[in-house]
Amino acid sequence: MRKPCNLFMVYSDNYTFASEFILLGFTNREDLQVTYFVLFLAIYVVTLIGNLGVIMLIRTDSCLHTPMYFFLSHLSLLDICYSSTIIPQTLLNFLVEKVISFVQCATQLFSFATCATTECYVLAAMAYDRYMAICNPLLYSVVMSQRLCVGMLAGAYLAGVISSTIHTVSIFRLPFCRSKRINHFFCDGPPLLALSCSDTHVNEVMVSAVVGFNVLSTTVFILVSYLSVLSTVLQIHSVAGRHKAFSTCASHLVSIALYYGCSLFMYLRPGSRASLEHGKLFSMCYTALTPALNPLVYSLRNKEVKGALRRLWGQKCLKKTRQRFFNI
């Protein structure tokens, strides 16, 4: 007769190894489960529709085949990927038992960390693109070649994979015997470190160092790029030109500040109680809200994207008119 699977497997003489975890989610109150389910589902639908719409629009409109929108399309792809890594599992946990296997948990952390880190470097690449377009417009088409853009993007994905590998291995090499309950709605680094029964100081330092390097280095690069842009914009005599540049940069910086601020709070203080207690709300900002808002911030406030939408709508209307005409 087959024995039932235990939640903990033997790890050594003194430790046990968790084969499964329980995600506590946002709340244990049954009356709020449906409310949170509807909220997350609505955010996820908006994220998918908005980012898929951006990708399709950029691919179909030749006027948007520029470096800026090349990076924007991949930013939308990353938003879809790392939201899809977390939110579907979260939605499932609102309806059924909140159990996730060890392998699923490690895979979720690796996938999320890869997408999140890659996004940091894509945002930095977009900042560099704006710097070249505004500060060095005569050299823009030469410097921002297809080869450079592809190379920058490949480097961003490579940095994401390397960083997430270090991040995941440093956490999941630890024994988890303190508890099986993760005080979070997905498998994130700080809540997992809190479950380990061994000394996690070195692991916390490693996680903070990896995340800190990625976030701080790209933040400094983005700030330097936009400060150079700001200096150039202030020298523009045209009021309309200054307003256009300020509008673009301000919208980018708002999204970047929200994404980076929440990430820094969570990962540069991985062992603090404050970060664990407030971590769910901060994690919701960069895993759910930011991907849903990015299409609005980067696209719908952009005149070129609005023009592409009008052209697409005009083509559809013209096609329908022709079909009606010939059917008559």
Give which of 216, 192, 194 is closest to 102, Cα–Cα. Answer: 192
* CA–CA gap between residue 328 and residue 322 (Å, rounded): 10
Q: Is residue 8 part of a domain?
A: no
Q: Residue 125 pLDDT > 90, yes or no?
A: yes
Q: Is residue 126 part of a domain?
A: yes
Rounded mean pLDDT, 268-286: 61
Q: Are 75 and 126 in contact (CB under 8 A)?
A: yes
pLDDT digits (tens, 9 = 90+) for 149-185: 999 999 999 999 999 999 898 888 888 776 688 888 8
pLDDT at 188: 84
Q: Residue 84 pLDDT > 70, yes or no?
A: yes
Least confident of 217-221, 232-236, 262-266: 262-266
pLDDT digits (tens, 9 = 90+) for 212-232: 888 889 988 998 998 888 888
Q: Residue 257 pLDDT > 60, yes or no?
A: yes
Q: Is residue 23 part of a domain?
A: yes
Alpha helices by DSSP H, the chain? 30-60, 67-95, 102-135, 137-143, 146-172, 189-193, 201-233, 239-267, 273-284, 290-295, 303-327
Phi-psi map region of 25: left, alpha, beta (phi>0 left; psi -120 to 50 alpha): left
pLDDT digits (tens, 9 = 90+) for 100-112: 888 888 999 999 9
Q: What is the CATH number of the domain that holds 157?
A: 1.20.1070.10
Which pTM value belongs to this model? 0.82
Q: Phi and psi (nearest 5°) for 78?
A: -65, -40
Q: Residue 14 pLDDT > 70, yes or no?
A: no
Q: When comparing pLDDT for 250 and 18, which is higher?
A: 250
Number of domains composing the chain: 1
Q: Residue 259 pLDDT > 90, yes or no?
A: no
Confidence band (pLDDT; 50, 70, 90) for 80?
A: very high
Q: Is residue 288 part of a domain?
A: yes
Q: Is residue 2 part of a domain?
A: no
- 24 Cβ contact partners less than 8 Å away, ≥ 6 residues apart: 98, 181, 182, 183, 184, 185
Q: Is residue 9 part of a domain?
A: no
What the block records as the tokens of 164 is 């997430």
* Cα-based distances in Å from 285 to 118, 142, 219, 226: 17, 37, 18, 23
Q: Are 49 and 56 in contact (CB under 8 A)?
A: no
Rounded mean pLDDT, 6-21: 51
- Host domain of residue 163: 19-318
Average of per-residue pLDDT values in the chain: 79
Q: Is residue 6 part of a domain?
A: no
Written as one string, the DSSP assignment of 88-109 is HHHHHHHHS--EEEHHHHHHHH
Q: Is residue 178 part of a domain?
A: yes
CB-hemisphere CA count at 13 Å for 200?
25
pLDDT at 117: 92
Give which of 243, 294, 284, 282 is closest to 126, Cα–Cα. Answer: 294
Rounded mean pLDDT, 60-68: 83
pLDDT at 182: 83
pLDDT at 151: 95
Rounded mean pLDDT, 254-262: 74
pLDDT digits (tens, 9 = 90+) for 314-327: 555 445 444 444 44
* CA–CA gap between residue 265 and residue 291 (Å, rounded): 18
pLDDT at 306: 64
